[in-house]
Structure 1
């Protein structure tokens, strides 16, 4: 493919970027034909679209830079930008090229991720002749279909691993006599929300929501906050604390918890987390972390979660009523040991599928880069070129 006739243009010169618009609740209807789209995707439906023509939708707040294509009418809400697709651009070519840009790195906020319109419009895209655009899309989507098939297999493997992991815990619990105890009855102190603080270089450290990882708290996931050590005093975390997510855009992530397993240096927890401090004479903190993310507890949390503007949330009252299976302390420790042994092998499988998924993502990014620099020819050597870029 020749790049001689390609032009490099600013997004603002090619597209008329518009702000999405809030939609009143009385105009929202899940069964209505036109999708209402937020930065993370479809939220509900509506009878009358805001945009009739084929449009690209770009995440403005929340899922910054996420790109969607809608061809048959939709209502982009105020967490998005949208733009009609001009005739000289193939709609899928534009969508794929926008997805290839690092729009997520343009986040300009210190709180909710946010993309400024001027930053978006300043980005450049390449515009070849229309027929060449369509040729590129056909080649690109053929290659991506193979990666999609591989990713589906990885998803299926991950689901099987998750099911096996849940079975290991259920089997261990079945051998113990358990009381069903609400969370509040297991705590030495009341549940407590953290505090929201802006980023400030040199300030007292505060954890990020991303510190919650696989039932644990990664103490390295932090930022410097605009407050003093005295102001942060009552929000300090201690070894054995259990931190719970207050909100998330995904239902399966809201209310997830993580254990502070190590003795931390002074660091506080933010308003996006709720702290639970279990009584050591009633429940082993590691056992609480284990059963909190189990199927039976997750079912309770997801039933009480409420959604606002696409974000699922839980509060202290909701969480305090969640019932947890609690055997004797000796049985708790036995269960912890059994589950740890059973999940060790599963952990190796998880690492292997994770590595495969990372490689798939790298190949996908390399494919997009090759597509929008004229290096995809449609020949069998394309993937060799792409893999070479990943290895480099």
Structure 2
């Protein structure tokens, strides 16, 4: 990971060099029978697993403990707040996080690396930031190339190099990036609240069908249901002048994804009657994952020459009774989902629904004015959500650009607290 740090106060050091100069400052978890499932209990000293270490930070979901006596046996594998943790294996290995002040001292498991940094040189927060960058990942790939299950040894990890600026610059960079992270978390909370509001608008309109006196079969609101077609296609996305067939994944996120499609082979005539158009409501008819059966997507816009597959149906509304967007919202409501789940749970392993079942589903019989009001509320919330998502994307781009500059050697001149 060579960089040009000439003219800067940054240096290149190995992880072993920035660890405390004391025995056991870098270690891995215990081997074999030293720590087994029979040692785990519901209280005591916390145990850290690979799954608790994420690029976004330490997230202790394991909830596993060992006794104080067992922890004393494993004291060589202790982790304390301020230590660096990294994964020995995974795709990729060497994901890192700081063990936080909110955790009690604990022990690590076999596939975890623990480093106790020399705090006169660096911190676990800085090392985790560096280790989770693409430039560091390139070092890891170089030592794990050709290995089916990438894994690093403690010796390999100690020899990996990291950029080390003066402590004041480390702290300033972490402060700046931390402020960006806090802003993104704040936006995430706003977006989550808006999505809850949006869902509430839909649920209030559909409600519990048991409490809605005026319901009808969905079929009475439809003009027709179009079935799709699945010829043998090429394993690539169609070019702009080619015909293609949508994959079921074009629908199952609840958003229409036109890129989830395959090219029709040259010379095979298309079926223009099942071409997808803006304003369509598409539903997944079948899927290997039960919860994705019956998911709908509204097509706001789409390239030309894309056709329905046989796992996707088009619900064509009678527009005198129901608008396309309200149809989509109703089909995505919990009231309709419960009916689909009830059918699938009673089936013999068949994760699909028929046109007959779709027509028989009970839905609220709302007048068009009420439908337009619901759609307007949902779309207003969606517009605000889209704005907040764009703000978050800009912050993420700023953060990544800053880190790219830092770790490519284009070091920013950061003013320290003295100004």
Question: Shared fold (TM-score greater than 0.5)?
Answer: yes
**Among 143, 163, 169, the residue aligned to 1:128:** 163
Task: Report the alpha carbon displacement of residue 293 of structure 1 after superposing the two structures with TM.
Answer: 3.0
**Among 377, 380, 386, the residue aligned to 1:351:** 386
Q: 1:158 to 1:368 in 2, by over 3 A?
A: same
Q: 1:37 to 1:258 in 2, by over 3 A?
A: same
Whether the 8 Å contact between 1:297 and 1:323 is mirrored in structure 2 is no
- Who is 2:306 aligned against? 267
Whether the 8 Å contact between 1:201 and 1:224 is mirrored in structure 2 is yes
- Who is 1:379 aligned against? 416
Task: Report the alpha carbon displacement of residue 357 of structure 1 after superposing the two structures with TM.
Answer: 1.0
**Among 273, 276, 284, the residue aligned to 1:238:** 276
Q: Aligned-residue CA RMSD in angstroms? A: 6.1
- 1:6 paired to 2:11: yes
- 1:286 paired to 2:325: yes
TM-score by length of 2: 0.52
TM-score by length of 1: 0.55
Q: 1:323 to 1:193 in 2, by over 3 A?
A: farther
Other structure's SS at 2:385 match: helix
Q: 1:243 to 1:126 in 2, by over 3 A?
A: farther
- Who is 1:21 aligned against? none
Distance 1:228 1:43 in 2: 51
For structure 1, the 5+ residue unaligned runs are 10-26, 77-81, 106-115, 307-313, 383-392
Q: 1:208 to 1:56 in 2, by over 3 A?
A: farther
Task: Report the alpha carbon displacement of residue 345 of structure 1 after superposing the two structures with TM.
Answer: 3.3
For structure 2, the 5+ residue unaligned runs are 15-36, 67-76, 80-84, 100-106, 139-143, 153-159
- Who is 2:29 aligned against? none
**Among 125, 128, 141, the residue aligned to 1:95:** 128
Distance 1:30 1:270 in 2: 51
**Among 231, 239, 244, the residue aligned to 1:205:** 244
How many residue pairs match? The answer is 326
Whether the 8 Å contact between 1:195 and 1:270 is mirrored in structure 2 is no
Q: 1:377 to 1:74 in 2, by over 3 A?
A: farther
Whether the 8 Å contact between 2:323 and 2:368 is mirrored in structure 1 is yes
- 1 or 2, which has the higher strand percentage? 1
Equivalences for residues 47-196 of structure 1 within 5 A: 54-56=85-87, 60=91, 67-69=95-97, 73=108, 92-101=125-134, 117=145, 127-129=162-164, 132=165, 136-173=169-206, 177-179=213-215, 188=225
- 1:341 paired to 2:346: no
- Who is 1:360 aligned against? 395
